[in-house]
Structure 1
Amino acid sequence: MYKKFTLFVNLLAFVLFLAGNVQGQTKNGSISGLIKTSDGNPASYVSVGLKNTNKTTQTDGKGNFSIKNIAPGNYTIKVSAIGVSAQEKSITVLADQNINTDFSIAESSSQLDEVAINGYKTPNKKPVNLGKIAIAPMDLPQSVQIIGNQVITDQQANRLSDVLKNVNGVAYGENRGSVSGETFFARGYSLGANNVFKNGSRATSGGMPETSTLESVEVLKGSAALLYGGVTGGAVVNLVTKKPKFEYGGEVSMRGGSYDMYKPTGDIYGPITKNLAFRLIGTYEDAASFRNSVNSNRVYVNPSLLYKIDEKTDILLQGDYLKSNMTPDFGIGTVDNKIMDIGRGAFVNAPWAYNQTNTVTSQLNINHKFNDNWKLNILGNLQSYNRNYFSAERPFADTQAANPLPYGIAARNVTRSKTREFTYNEQINLNGAFKTGSLAHTLLVGADADQSRTTSGGFTFNNNLTTFNYGNVNLLDPTTYFGTGTEPGVNVVSETFAPLYRMGAFVQDLVSITEQFKVLAGVRYTFQKTPRTVTTNLATGVQTLSVNSLDKSKTESAFTPKFGLIYQPLKTTSIYASYASNFIQNTGTDINLAPLDPSTVDQYEAGVKNDLFNGRLSVNLTYYRIANDKFAQQALLNAQGAPNGDANIKELNGKTLSDGLELDITGTIVKGLNFIAGYSYNFIRYTETRDKTVYTVPAPTTANPAATRTITLGGVIEGQRLVGSTKNTANGTLFYTFQDGSVKGLKLGASAYYTGARNGGYNDSKIQTYSRLIPLTSFTTFDFSAGYNWKKISLLAKVANITNELNYFVHENYSVNPIPPRQFMTTLSYKF
């Protein structure tokens, strides 16, 4: 680690030395300004350039633009975008001077939003909210992908998985019980609840977040440990909700589809006063499923207020409420560790099973601009998540040799849970631009804190039974699926309170040495405290602390640095290489029974980002390697030097490695023709684990004081792909809207999604006698869409999985979920 760090610092110093010696003084000038829409709002991400030159740029999210290093002379500056009336102005550039010029385009902000129907804007120029600072992805030594509202709308996406299947390097893993939140893998690492954000704040993925009304979904791939604490190394995902506008408008729509799916949506926005605007979005969903007896009922409301105190300060207050009731469904199970085709719709859960969630989020976002170079953001977020769950658990039938019951028999033990979770998040971010000599800096300094408080109930069944079997089911006999139909009685007997505290501070600097060479460097300090849980016996009121060896809270802390080099030989091309570290938490204890230290994961990434044909085509290629040299595995010996038979006593001496390649393509080559496509490859495996070791240890008994027993240890087989990760994924989506003639407004679209081979079940170990791995084959699904836009009315229809492909996603514990069959969906909408 220190050798790598030293090599990087030396290389950085050498580049800085060269830059300081080769950079000369310039006598060129520059142009900057602000572009607004006809209703006075910023015109974001429109093209600005000098005619007959290669000097082009794009406005930022606030409508600002800047063109530097322009030779003195007379020029014509042009503002343009697909679907926008071009504006031109003559201008004279003087040596060593900045000329400020502003524009007002003929279109309103709503009309500018609708331009997206004719073109997906280049993702390499639009800063992401997850970055906490207005740095375009072209200047970041990290892979970024943005799925905008037009893609979400065109594809009629309902769930986060519908959106993320357009993101290469992020693969759908499974949906345990179909209600506990969708699971994704990025670069081989599972994206837990800590990796999903909403408007930059950590958010729960329980209850399935509503995505159909989002403005965009941002994915920052690789390590995000510099900016956020407690995240895994694969990626972070940010859901961006729609914001208020200072003009009246809105949209109402009705979506319907196969299996009695109905979903009306309303969206209205406008000004309340000159400085105060609102937006209110609401949707209701009621649907059955291709899975027998499975239903969902959801209500979502998203109000927001934007108050512009003055030109320098604005306050955004947002909230949302999601009520999601869904039937728990663990799929079709396994028999003898194999998937049996018992029918795509076979439902083997208890008929009374239910999962009810309520999620409330409120967020206050304050932005203050000290001047053109320095800005402050303060964000506070509160989320409440309640879950009420009662269900039989995942069905799987053992082999006849392991189970004396007839072949195909699976127990249906029930689980009752009721949880309340409150999460608080606070952030403060200061960013500024300044120079030290000839070096230009884009600085970000910030601090954040998270607190969560989870209360969960403990239950008994019927006559105070701690476990209850609803009744065995024969997975091969449909007549046994329903069972008795009787819901067992439940008593809540205890409550367990589990708090968690996390805080951190970071600094990041993007140093522009020249217009071509840039360096990004930063470091974060993260501290996390996990107090002992408190369990209250509701009958007696007696409280009990959880037991650990230290009888105190578990604390973890780490520094996570990041370094990146960016070379931009052209304004439209960026070549980068970066290093970042991330720390992940480990369960269990060391041999002294102290909480196990976190593991530090090193990530190396290199890539090329290209904007071609004046931004109409973006092609990005990324290679990465993620190494964990301190993977936790069962300790060989305990503190007394004797063989260790406790799987919770571990050592940080294993290794894992994840390699991968990602290709992202986005474009609008021809007016009205939009496409996104890409491919990803990942291979994550264990590279060093415990060898198989057999020990004979004393085990005296009264009858035989000399008795012994054997302990066999062994790690996961090296080189085997980790369960849940997907080797290859690919996607392609193309939409074309006819621009002229009698078919003007007609829209046609097609999508293809490829999911490569992957493993379900459990990874094989060196000591097991039979494999519990479930190999899953690759599959491809195809969707076709057609629609028509006429004035303010639009109709869009889609047939998904046209070929009726059958395949499965498998949770490690045998929750086997078939993919949806061929389905139909249509949306009728009216904009006002």
Structure 2
Amino acid sequence: MKYFYTIVFLSALLLSNFTLSAQTASGIANGSIRGKVKTNDGQPAAYVTVQIVENNKKTATNESGVFVFNNLKSGEYTVKTSSVGLQVQTQKVTVTDGEATTADFTLTESGSQLDEIVISTYKSPNTKSIRTGKIDIPSRDLPQAVQIIGAQIIADQQANRLSDVLKNVNGVAYGENRGGVSGETFFARGYSLGGNNVFKNGARTSTGGMPETSTLESVEVLKGSAALLYGGVSGGAVVNMVTKKPKFENGGEVSFRTGSYDLYKPTLDLYGPISQKLAFRAIGTYEKAASYRNSVHADRVYVNPSLLYKLSDKTEIVLQGDYLKSDFTPDFGIGTIDNKIVNIGRGSYINAPWAYNNTNTVSSQLSIDHQFNESWKINVLGSVQSYNRDYYSAERPFANTEGIALRNVTRSKTEEFSYNQQINLNGQFNTGSINHKLLVGADADQSKTTSNGFVYGPSGVASFNYGSVNLLDPSTFAGTGIQPEATNTTRTNAPIYRMGAFVQDLVSLTDKFKVLAGIRYTFQKTPATSINTLATGVNSKGTAVGKTEKAFSPKLALIYQPLKTTSVYVSYANNLIANTGLDIYGATLDPSLVDQYEAGIKNDFLDGRLSANITAYSIKNSNFAQQALVKADGTGNGDSNVKELNGKTLSNGVEFDLTGNILPGLNFIAGYSYNFIRYTETRDKTVITYDVPVTTANPTGKATSTVGGTVEGQRLVGTTKNTANGSLFYTLQDGKLRGLKIGASAYYTGNRNGGYNDTKTQTVSRLIPLSGFTTFDLSGGYSWKKLSLLAKISNITNELNYFVHENYSINPIAPRQFITTLGYRF
């Protein structure tokens, strides 16, 4: 790795010296043109093309409607705004060396008209900035793989869940979780996207109730390490769900969705002005559905009100809230027999008939954006969220060779309460002819999880078998049908405190060479849990030891743009992964620091109507935690909770995505990814001897234990080798059939491993190999004036395959289904 650091450092130094030398030789600093484009109702006009006629230089406005041209020689220039569907506007400006000239534009179109133009004409994703990146730069300047799934794709595919949206993102694969009760689980670049990796409008959000996605404006995915910007996130990706915002004109939509297995889902979306400075939006939906899984039901209510207050031309405040009531049946699927999948029927439900999982999520968010001038702006974000889950179910149907499985019950009741605060300062300035785009930020979040412990039955036992089930005998699936008594005995509080600060600078050495560098300091404190025994009121500490973690997360990237439409980059970043357990001295285990290397090419063709991006990466964890062989005194260690950081893992892969709108009305998105994550160095099989108390049965006071790590080179369970996706929609633009829409989608999920990775000490494998599969969807619809009708048949070949969590949550994929949505815009 030292060679990589040396090459990057020397390259940056040489480029900097080259540019500074050129600047010194010229003896002058060039000028610039800066401006802002607004709609006629005062909204910023994003992604509008701005051109200097004399030299044909082009750029696009960012999310705030701002554009900049740097390194211009003194003289007179003609600046022009243009885009399909927009009225062209021009201005004559004079540029003076060392000064910034302002050229602002006000379009004749309104904000909603501009939205319709953007949707119908398509904008290259490489020209857009994403909120997840926290800085107003186009994706082309960001040395990371980025994908944006917009409102049009979400609507065309009639997406209901986050998994429906993310299957369009190459390199992000769905993974089953325990009974489906913890929300949807995803893997990216071999790493699970935990609760810290999913955001809504830039703030962390819970995925426990399965977030509502059918009403989103877009979903942004920033792949690779985002530790610089967000702290304790896994290295795979971060996902940001962007909700729809208020508008200063009256409008809305009402729709009704229905489909197979008794799906009924009405939705209402209203927006408009309350005054000249205050606008509102209110979105609500109700969903009631059964399932292809027998006895499985979902009942959901979602409300998303929001207010937009324009304090001034430079300051706006957005206040929004979310309420999601999501009740659904926990479902562990069809289970395994002798660690093997047996097809006992796609719809076979073997959980208790009374099982339930009821969740409530309430959140509120306040965002303040202030533009100091055309070069500097600040965003302040605060959010609060409450998530409650009430769950009772029989569990884990993994059976022996005869098909018999225990069904111990679990009753849980948890409350999660979290706060998040952020402040991000964006600035742009020049040092001579070198342009800087600076991002400085700080964030903090605090959370507390309260969980309850239960005992079961009249005698209050810790473990209770609802009734063994024979997976080969459907008459045993329902059991007695009687819900066991559960008594709440303890209440555990587990707080976590996080904070961090970072700085990042995108340095444009020339028009073609850029360097992005940044560093973050992260502090995380996890106090020891406290347990309240309800019968006595006594508080005590839990077995988990409190710990404090600190880390610096650097990032460095080189960007070369030989053409305005092409960007080539290499980057290095790292992130921390928290570890459980103690070291041999009894101290809490340090976090693992994971190194990530990435290289990519981003291309636009056909004047931005076609984008093709490719990324390669390598993620190395050289201090993976595993059981220590000896204690601090040199004697053998028989405690699996005592660990040391000397294991290694490696994740390699490539990702390719293709998006475009080559013809009017034709929109497509496609992608492919390959990932291989495995252990590369683990503990060899070793027999250790350690001290135990002297007893009559063991007068020597010695015991032995066989220790061994995971088998090297074996793909980690849950991760997917290959994924591919393709989706195409075409809407007729002319003729009698104008408004007719047809679409097709295909999704490939490659080979995976379920069960458990093999270890060097076991004699029987618990791995469950899973083959790849492909599903195909067909869509058709028609829009006439304000009415629209869209229908879809998914998995038209009725493909059968499984998603597996360990060896007991074995859920068949959905069969062929039909869904249709009728909408009316006003």
Distance 1:812 1:499 in 2: 28
For 1:89-100, what aligned pairs fall within 5 Å after superposition? 89=90, 91=92, 96=97, 100=102
Question: Does the 8 A contact of 2:356 with 2:392 survive in 1?
Answer: yes
Distance 2:105 2:226 in 1: 37
Identify the residue that residue 742 of structure 1 maps to in structure 2: 736
Identify the residue that residue 414 of structure 2 maps to in structure 1: 419
Root mean square deviation, CA, Å: 2.0
Distance 2:505 2:66 in 1: 21
**Secondary structure of 2:152's match?**
helix
Distance 1:520 1:247 in 2: 40
Shift of 1:116: 4.6
Shift of 1:177: 1.2
Shift of 1:428: 1.2
User: 1:792–1:640: structure 2 CA closer, same or farther, 3 Å change rule?
Assistant: same
What letter corresponds to residue 576 of structure 1 in structure 2?
A: Y
Shift of 1:702: 1.4
Shift of 1:515: 1.2
User: 1:513–1:289: structure 2 CA closer, same or farther, 3 Å change rule?
Assistant: same
Shift of 1:33: 3.3
Shift of 1:57: 1.7
TM-score of the aligned structures, taking structure 1 as reference length: 0.96
TM-score of the aligned structures, taking structure 2 as reference length: 0.96
Which of residues 500, 505, 509 in structure 2 aligns to 1:509?
A: 505
What letter corresponds to residue 268 of structure 1 in structure 2?
A: L
Quick check: 1:442 aligned with 2:437? yes
What letter corresponds to residue 509 of structure 1 in structure 2?
A: D
Question: Does the 8 A contact of 1:679 with 1:728 survive in 2?
Answer: yes
Distance 1:260 1:529 in 2: 47
Distance 1:693 1:109 in 2: 68
Question: Does the 8 A contact of 1:625 with 1:658 survive in 2?
Answer: yes
User: 1:54–1:594: structure 2 CA closer, same or farther, 3 Å change rule?
Assistant: same
Distance 2:394 2:67 in 1: 58
Which of residues 467, 473, 476 in structure 1 aligns to 2:472?
A: 476
Distance 1:511 1:698 in 2: 59
Distance 1:450 1:73 in 2: 50
Question: Does the 8 A contact of 2:309 with 2:317 survive in 1?
Answer: yes
Which deviations, in whole Å up to 9, do the C-alpha atoms of 1:436-461 show, x marking residues without a partner? 22221111111111100111111111
For 1:164-179, what aligned pairs fall within 5 Å after superposition? 164-179=166-181
Which of residues 328, 351, 361 in structure 2 aligns to 1:349?
A: 351
Shift of 1:53: 5.7
User: 1:579–1:475: structure 2 CA closer, same or farther, 3 Å change rule?
Assistant: same
Shift of 1:72: 7.4
Stretch moving more, 699-708 or 357-366 = 699-708
Shift of 1:103: 3.8
Shift of 1:51: 5.5
Distance 1:99 1:434 in 2: 14
Question: Does the 8 A contact of 2:91 with 2:103 survive in 1?
Answer: no
Distance 1:431 1:72 in 2: 27
Question: Does the 8 A contact of 1:36 with 1:42 survive in 2?
Answer: yes
Which of residues 695, 714, 725 in structure 2 aligns to 1:720?
A: 714
Distance 1:494 1:604 in 2: 46
Quick check: 1:757 aligned with 2:751? yes
What letter corresponds to residue 470 of structure 1 in structure 2?
A: Y
Shift of 1:802: 0.7
Which deviations, in whole Å up to 9, do the C-alpha atoms of 1:725-754 show, x marking residues without a partner? 111101111111100001101111111101
Stretch moving more, 434-443 or 254-263 = 434-443
What letter corresponds to residue 693 of structure 1 in structure 2?
A: T
Question: Does the 8 A contact of 2:339 with 2:807 survive in 1?
Answer: no
Question: Does the 8 A contact of 1:117 with 1:672 survive in 2?
Answer: no
For 1:545-624, what aligned pairs fall within 5 Å after superposition? 545-547=541-543, 553-624=546-617
Question: Does the 8 A contact of 2:266 with 2:285 survive in 1?
Answer: yes
Distance 1:312 1:193 in 2: 34
**Secondary structure of 2:149's match?**
strand
Shift of 1:203: 0.7
Shift of 1:660: 0.6
Identify the residue that residue 683 of structure 1 maps to in structure 2: 676
Identify the residue that residue 16 of structure 1 maps to in structure 2: 16
Distance 2:106 2:327 in 1: 48
Stretch moving more, 650-659 or 131-140 = 131-140
Shift of 1:608: 0.6
Unaligned runs of 5+ in 2: none
Question: Does the 8 A contact of 1:118 with 1:673 survive in 2?
Answer: no
Distance 1:152 1:698 in 2: 61
What letter corresponds to residue 515 of structure 1 in structure 2?
A: D
Distance 1:395 1:703 in 2: 38
Stretch moving more, 657-666 or 57-66 = 57-66
Shift of 1:655: 0.3
Number of aligned positions between the proteins: 821
For 1:101-140, what aligned pairs fall within 5 Å after superposition? 101-140=103-142
For 1:169-208, what aligned pairs fall within 5 Å after superposition? 169-208=171-210
Quick check: 1:626 aligned with 2:628? no
For 1:126-165, what aligned pairs fall within 5 Å after superposition? 126-165=128-167
For 1:743-822, what aligned pairs fall within 5 Å after superposition? 743-822=737-816
Question: Does the 8 A contact of 1:118 with 1:674 survive in 2?
Answer: no
Stretch moving more, 437-446 or 224-233 = 437-446
Identify the residue that residue 733 of structure 1 maps to in structure 2: 727
Identify the residue that residue 494 of structure 1 maps to in structure 2: 490
Distance 2:804 2:330 in 1: 15
Identify the residue that residue 361 of structure 1 maps to in structure 2: 363
Distance 2:264 2:136 in 1: 39
Which of residues 443, 456, 459 in structure 1 aligns to 2:454?
A: 459
What letter corresponds to residue 710 of structure 2 in structure 1?
A: V
Unaligned runs of 5+ in 1: 400-406
Distance 2:194 2:145 in 1: 20
Shift of 1:120: 3.7
Distance 1:729 1:697 in 2: 47
Distance 1:170 1:811 in 2: 17
Shift of 1:77: 5.0
**Secondary structure of 1:645's match?**
coil
Distance 2:552 2:709 in 1: 29
Distance 1:128 1:655 in 2: 33
Question: Does the 8 A contact of 1:27 with 1:95 survive in 2?
Answer: no
What letter corresponds to residue 829 of structure 1 in structure 2?
A: G
**Secondary structure of 1:239's match?**
strand
Identify the residue that residue 209 of structure 1 maps to in structure 2: 211
Identify the residue that residue 263 of structure 1 maps to in structure 2: 265
Which of residues 382, 385, 388 in structure 1 aligns to 2:387?
A: 385
Question: Does the 8 A contact of 2:39 with 2:108 survive in 1?
Answer: yes
Which of residues 657, 667, 675 in structure 2 aligns to 1:664?
A: 657
Shift of 1:531: 0.6
Shift of 1:705: 2.8
Question: Does the 8 A contact of 1:226 with 1:522 survive in 2?
Answer: yes
Stretch moving more, 563-572 or 694-703 = 694-703
What letter corresponds to residue 453 of structure 1 in structure 2?
A: K
**Secondary structure of 2:174's match?**
strand
**Secondary structure of 2:117's match?**
helix
For 1:394-405, what aligned pairs fall within 5 Å after superposition? 394-399=396-401
Stretch moving more, 349-358 or 100-109 = 100-109
Distance 1:20 1:814 in 2: 63
Distance 1:101 1:20 in 2: 29
Identify the residue that residue 311 of structure 1 maps to in structure 2: 313
What letter corresponds to residue 323 of structure 1 in structure 2?
A: K
What letter corresponds to residue 682 of structure 2 in structure 1?
A: T
Question: Does the 8 A contact of 1:760 with 1:810 survive in 2?
Answer: yes
Distance 1:109 1:134 in 2: 20
Shift of 1:108: 2.4
Question: Does the 8 A contact of 1:116 with 1:150 survive in 2?
Answer: no
Distance 1:560 1:103 in 2: 40
Shift of 1:544: 0.7
**Secondary structure of 1:151's match?**
helix
What letter corresponds to residue 182 of structure 1 in structure 2?
A: E
Identify the residue that residue 404 of structure 1 maps to in structure 2: none
Which deviations, in whole Å up to 9, do the C-alpha atoms of 1:79-113 show, x marking residues without a partner? 3334x144143646656476644444443221222
**Secondary structure of 2:229's match?**
coil
Distance 2:597 2:202 in 1: 25
